[in-house]
Amino acid sequence: MTDITIRQLEYFVAIADTGSVTGAATACHVTQAAVSTALAQLEGTVGARLAIRRPGHGIALTAEGVAVASHARGVLDGVSQVSAIVSEARGRLSGRLAIGVYRTLSTHTIPALIEWFATRHPDVQLQFIEGSGSFVQQELLAGRVQVAVIYRAQLIDGCEPTMLRRARRMAVMSPDHPLASEVQLSLPLLAEHPAIFLDEEPALQRTLAAFAAEGVEPLVPWRSSSVDAIQNVAGRGSAYSILMQTRSHSPEGRPLLFRALPGEALDNPVAAVLPRGVRPTALITEVLSAVREYWVATHAALNRDEASSRT
């Protein structure tokens, strides 16, 4: 029996991820012929058809192919870990690190991680996959990323969180908003004014539920999946919103005011998640350190900006 090679597994996983020989060749920086040959050799070795070509529709994996792809990802991760262990023993980290990031956290997380690893561990190759909280955790459980950064409320079965930052949703508005000077802001007071809410689940559902728990229904003429757009609308004074991400100014440069709101339902910490029972590697530990340090620095800078605006 011919031995299965790491290269064959790498190309096959690329086929599974991209859905085509062309996509796999691009991802692996090789020719389509090389990918096709590797697939044929792998199928010959295992004695089963792993993928079916569909003209005009890419490649679909067979049941055997799905099983092989799942195990192949584990093998490739194991090989990557061997390299990381050797590098760690030599006093440096290296290897591939795939990180899933909830899309509204990308603005904060990705730049911080790139800078952290480029400065401290330049031999580590970072890859980011962005999407909904559920999507990046599914990628985690499928082995396509090694860690995911989400909000705790998005946690799904099979994943285990490590808290990175205590956070809660806050009301965001222009300093000129009618409620900006309100001593004790509340959801019933906000419900009387126009809002623009983040059109993402479970964030939207949790926000509406918090209002319902107070016996009121918010006035929501607009929704958006863009945090930047929401902050710009709030900065213009057109509406308030309820967001996790605090900043002193909107992307357009207008000042923003963030106000705390009562209620435990608004608590929603940032978390890094791993598959349940998986212990963090040295690379994952660096991810935790980088994101935690970023939030500490950001919180301090925001406090300085707020103090300056009051003087």
Q: What's the CA gap between 102 and 134, in Å, rounded?
A: 9
pLDDT band at 62 (very low <50, low <70, confident <90, very high): confident
Tell me how far CA of residue 282 lies from CA of 50, 89, 144, 307, in angstroms.
Answer: 34, 11, 18, 38
pLDDT band at 80 (very low <50, low <70, confident <90, very high): low
CATH number of 170-266: 3.40.190.10
- The CATH architecture to which 92-167+269-310 belongs is 3-Layer(aba) Sandwich (3.40)
Mean pLDDT across 249-253: 91
Is the predicted pLDDT of residue 309 greater than 60, yes or no?
no
pLDDT 10s digits, 135-154:
999 988 888 889 999 988 88
Amino acid at site 34: A
Give the least confident one: 59-63, 96-100, 191-195, 265-269: 265-269
**Candidates 1.10.10.10, 3.40.30.10, 3.40.50.300, 1.20.58.220; correct CATH number of 6-71?**
1.10.10.10
Strand spans (E) along 169-230: 170-173, 194-198, 219-224
Is the predicted pLDDT of residue 305 greater than 50, yes or no?
no
pLDDT band at 256 (very low <50, low <70, confident <90, very high): very high
Q: What's the CA gap between 27 and 32, in Å, rounded?
A: 11
In the prediction, which pLDDT does 188 show?
92
Question: Is residue 18 within 8 Å of residue 27, measured between CB atoms?
Answer: yes
Where exactly are the structural domains of the chain?
Answer: 6-71, 92-167+269-310, 170-266
> Could you check whether 92-167+269-310 and 170-266 share the same CATH topology?
yes
